[in-house]
Structure formats: structure tokens, C-alpha cells
Amino acid sequence: MNVVVTGANRGLGLEFCKQLRADGHAVVGSSRGRSQALDGTGVHVEKLDIADTESIARFAAAVAERFERVDLLINNAGINSKTAPKGQKNVRLGDLEPQGMLRMIQVNAVGPVLVSQALLPVLGVGSRVVSISSWLGSIAGKTSGGNYGYCASKATLNMLMRTFAHDVASKDITSVVINPGWVQTKMGGPRAPLTPTESVTGMLSVVAALTPEQNGSFLQWDGTESAW
């Protein structure tokens, strides 16, 4: 299986790469800059800034040179309030400003759908597109204030990728968004109940069992349905 993983140099992206390579799959991972985390893993690394359309085009061209077909695209790259550029205010009411809000949406929502669009020439019958969302992107599950930018960006990702799913259904491509759970990564922090290994193992099991009937679904890391 030929796999593309964005945001492959740390956290869930790195764990995806390790597990996929351990299972013998060919993997192209993306990173914004040079990273030693993937050294020795057998993952081919290409530079990608998902907020830059020219970078996306170059990345897609590089993937097409390496793979005639991509069986699985994992849109994992993203930011939250901890990893966003300093000074971008997108968390608390009374302290919000446009740049921070829009940057979060550009990276977490617009970037993944543009990457998916750019890779359409190498996606075909039976290909799967998995975009990493969050329980914080669930409108039904939003029961508290704050965290405006991140929550809005993941809700936007959900809508964009559900729309994408309908558009690619005629090509027999299955596209879903998955909540990885609260995971012990730089984003999730040390108090999270899930390890990256547990989360990714669960998500890859979900991916392996995906059916065309699930196209456009919002799923949990354990395969259960998530509320929109």
C-alpha cells in the first residue's frame, strides 16, 4: 500500500509512519522543515507547508513522481493554540483578532482539502482519505466557551471534507474524518488518557475496515460514530 501522511515529523503523524512502515507499506511523509525524527524509518520525506498553495503543488508533484497511485492519504498536519505562532489571538472572548482565527482555519481546514484536491490525480478506485479532526470540532459536543479558533477550524474541516467526500464518491474514493481522542502529544499534553500508539493503532484498524457506505462519516478512533 502507498501512503501519504502530512505532519509526519512528530506526534500522531510520526506514529502513523512508524506503524505503517512496520507493516511494510511505502510511506511519503511531509514536514515543514528538516526533521531527524523520521531518520532511519524508511519514510520518504517531502517538504510541505499546507498554508502555502505553491508548497502544496510542489508536494503533490513530488508524490506523483514517487507513486503512480496513493492508496491512503492521512491529512494529519495541523496546529492548536499551543503550537500556533505566538501572538495570534484565537482562544478567549475579548481577546480575539482576525489573523489568529483565520490562520487556524487556513492550516487546519483549508490546507487539508487543498492537499486532497492536489492529490486527486493519484487517488483512484478504493483509495481512502482520512482527515484527523477532533471532538472539539463537534458542534453538538461543544458545551463550553473558549478555544474559538481551534474549535471553528476543526468544525470547518469536518464540513469541507464531508463535501469533498460527496464529490469523490463517484470515483469510488472513501473519505472520512476521525477524532483521534485525547492523546499524549505536544498538542494533547501529558494528562491525556491515550498514548499515540493506542490512538493510531485504533485509527488504522478503523481505516482497514472502512467501507464505501461510510464515506463522509465522522468517526471516533475506536470506530464508533461521532456526533457532528
Q: Give the contacts of 180 (CB within 8 A, at least 6 positions apart).
A: 12, 132, 134, 194, 199, 200, 203, 221
Q: Which amino acid is at 144?
A: S
Q: Give the contacts of 171 (CB within 8 A, at least 6 positions apart).
A: 123, 124, 125
Q: What is the pLDDT of residues 24-48, one digit of tens each?
A: 999 999 999 877 888 888 999 999 9
pLDDT of residue 84: 62
Q: What is the dihedral of CA 173, 25, 119, 172, to 10 degrees?
A: -10
Separation of alpha carbons 169 and 67, rounded Å: 22
How confident is the prediction along the chain (228 residues), in pLDDT tens digits per residue? Answer: 999 999 999 999 999 999 999 999 999 999 998 778 888 889 999 999 999 999 999 999 999 999 999 999 999 999 987 666 677 789 999 999 999 999 999 999 999 999 999 999 999 999 999 999 999 999 999 999 999 999 999 999 999 999 999 999 999 999 999 999 988 877 677 787 889 999 999 999 999 999 999 999 999 999 999 999
Domain membership flag for residue 45: yes
Domain membership flag for residue 228: no
pTM for this predicted structure: 0.95
Domain membership flag for residue 126: yes
Separation of alpha carbons 73 and 2, rounded Å: 9
7: which 3 cell numbers? Answer: 505532519
Contact 75, 131 (CB under 8 A): yes
In 3D, which of 68, 150, 146, 162 has the Cα closest to residue 113?
A: 162
Q: Give the contacts of 122 (CB within 8 A, at least 6 positions apart).
A: 63, 64, 67, 68, 69, 70
Domain membership flag for residue 74: yes
Domain membership flag for residue 157: yes
To the nearest whole percent, how much of the chain has pLDDT over 70?
97
Separation of alpha carbons 123 and 113, rounded Å: 14
Separation of alpha carbons 30 and 15, rounded Å: 13
Could you tell me the CATH number of the domain that includes residue 74?
3.40.50.720
Domain membership flag for residue 225: no
Domain membership flag for residue 68: yes
Contact 50, 76 (CB under 8 A): no
C-alpha distance from residue 177 to each of 26, 162, 191, 210 (Å): 22, 8, 24, 12
Domain membership flag for residue 226: no
Q: What is the extent of the structural domain holding 19?
A: 2-220
How many domains does the structure of the chain reveal?
1
